[in-house]
Structure 1
Amino acid sequence: MPLLARTVNTPLVIEVRRGAVADLGPLLADRRISAGGDVAVVVGPGQGEKIANLCQPNLGSADVFMVAGGSIDSANELGDQLRRRSYDAVVGIGGGKTIDTAKYAATRYGIPMVTVATSLANDGIASPTASLDHEGGKGSYGVHMPIAVIVDLDFVENGPDRQTQAGIGDAVSNLSACADWELAHQVRDEPIDGLAVTLARTGAEALVNHPGTITDDGFLTTLAEALILGGIASSVAGSTRPASGGDHEISHAIDRLYPGTASHGEQVGLGALFCTFLRDEPERFAQLAGCLRRHGLAVDPAGIGLTDEQFVEAVQYAPRTRPDRYTILEHLTMSPTETRRRLADYAGALRDHLD
Structure 2
Amino acid sequence: MPVLTRLVPSPVFVEIRSGALDALAGILADQRLSAAGRIAVAISNGSGARLRARLEPALPSADWYEVTDGSLDSAVLLAEQMRAGHYDAMVALGGGKIIDVGKYAAARVGLPLVAVATNLAHDGICSPVSILDNDAGRGSYGVPSPIGIVVDLDVIRQAPPRFVAAGIGDVVSNLSACADWELSHSVTGEPVDGLAVAMARSAGENLLRHPGSLTDRDLLTTLAEALVLSGIAMNIAGSTRPSSGACHEISHALDVLFPKRSAQHGEQVGLGAAFASFLRGERELTGLIVDRLRFHGLPVTADQIGFTEEEFTKAVHYAPNTRPGRFTILEHLDLSPSDIRDSYADYVQAVNS
TM bucket normalised to smaller: over 0.9
User: Equivalent residue for 1:53?
Assistant: 53
Alpha-carbon distance, 1:208 to partner: 0.6
- Cα distance in 2 for residues equivalent to 1:47 and 1:223: 20
Structure-2 change in CA distance of 1:201 and 1:119 (3 Å):
same
User: After alignment, is 23-32 or 139-148 more displaced?
Assistant: 23-32
User: Equivalent residue for 1:315?
Assistant: 316
Within 5 Å, which residues of 2 pair with 1:131-142?
131-142=131-142
User: Equivalent residue for 1:66?
Assistant: 66
> How many residues are matched?
352
Alpha-carbon distance, 1:29 to partner: 1.2
Give the partner amino acid of 2:26.
P
- Cα distance in 2 for residues equivalent to 1:228 and 1:275: 24
Which secondary structure state, in structure 1, belongs to the residue aligned with residue 76 of structure 2? helix
Identity in percent: 55
Which secondary structure state, in structure 2, belongs to the residue aligned with residue 192 of structure 1? coil
User: After alignment, is 311-320 or 215-224 more displaced?
Assistant: 311-320
User: Equivalent residue for 1:182?
Assistant: 182
Give the partner amino acid of 2:10.
T
Which secondary structure state, in structure 2, belongs to the residue aligned with residue 92 of structure 1? strand
Matching of residue 290 in structure 1 with residue 291 in structure 2:
yes
User: Equivalent residue for 1:333?
Assistant: 334
Q: Is the 8 A contact 2:138 2:255 kept in 1?
A: no
Q: Is the 8 A contact 2:128 2:234 kept in 1?
A: yes
List per-residue Cα deviations over 1:33-86 (Å, max 9, x = no partner).
211211111111023332111112222211111111311211111111222222
Q: Is the 8 A contact 1:234 1:241 kept in 2?
A: yes
User: Equivalent residue for 1:19?
Assistant: 19
**Superposition TM-score, scaled by structure 1 size:** 0.97
Q: Is the 8 A contact 2:138 2:256 kept in 1?
A: no
Structure-2 change in CA distance of 1:348 and 1:49 (3 Å):
closer
Give the partner amino acid of 1:333.
D
User: Structure 1: which 5+ residue stretches go unaligned?
Assistant: none
Q: Is the 8 A contact 1:273 1:288 kept in 2?
A: yes
User: Equivalent residue for 2:167?
Assistant: 167
Which secondary structure state, in structure 2, belongs to the residue aligned with residue 166 of structure 1? helix
User: After alignment, is 255-264 or 235-244 more displaced?
Assistant: 255-264
Q: Is the 8 A contact 2:96 2:124 kept in 1?
A: yes
**Superposition TM-score, scaled by structure 2 size:** 0.97
- Cα distance in 2 for residues equivalent to 1:10 and 1:183: 27
User: After alignment, is 44-53 or 169-178 more displaced?
Assistant: 44-53
Q: Is the 8 A contact 1:170 1:266 kept in 2?
A: yes
Structure-2 change in CA distance of 1:261 and 1:67 (3 Å):
closer
Alpha-carbon distance, 1:136 to partner: 2.0
Which secondary structure state, in structure 1, belongs to the residue aligned with residue 213 of structure 2? coil
Give the partner amino acid of 2:240.
T
Q: Is the 8 A contact 1:21 1:54 kept in 2?
A: no
Give the partner amino acid of 1:348.
Q
Alpha-carbon distance, 1:88 to partner: 1.1
Give the partner amino acid of 2:287.
A
Give the partner amino acid of 2:348.
A
- Cα distance in 1 for residues equivalent to 2:333 and 2:71: 36
- Cα distance in 2 for residues equivalent to 1:309 and 1:138: 22
Q: Is the 8 A contact 1:17 1:151 kept in 2?
A: yes
Alpha-carbon distance, 1:195 to partner: 0.8
User: Equivalent residue for 1:111?
Assistant: 111
Let me know the Cα RMSD of the aligned residues: 1.1
- Cα distance in 2 for residues equivalent to 1:338 and 1:63: 55
User: Equivalent residue for 1:219?
Assistant: 219
Give the partner amino acid of 1:39.
I
Alpha-carbon distance, 1:351 to partner: 2.4
Q: Is the 8 A contact 1:253 1:321 kept in 2?
A: yes
Q: Is the 8 A contact 2:47 2:118 kept in 1?
A: no
Give the partner amino acid of 2:56.
Q
- Cα distance in 1 for residues equivalent to 2:243 and 2:64: 33
User: Equivalent residue for 1:89?
Assistant: 89
Give the partner amino acid of 1:261.
S
List per-residue Cα deviations over 1:231-283 (Å, max 9, x = no partner).
11111111111111001111111112222231111111000000001111122
Alpha-carbon distance, 1:336 to partner: 1.8
- Cα distance in 1 for residues equivalent to 2:179 and 2:102: 32
Which secondary structure state, in structure 2, belongs to the residue aligned with residue 158 of structure 1? coil
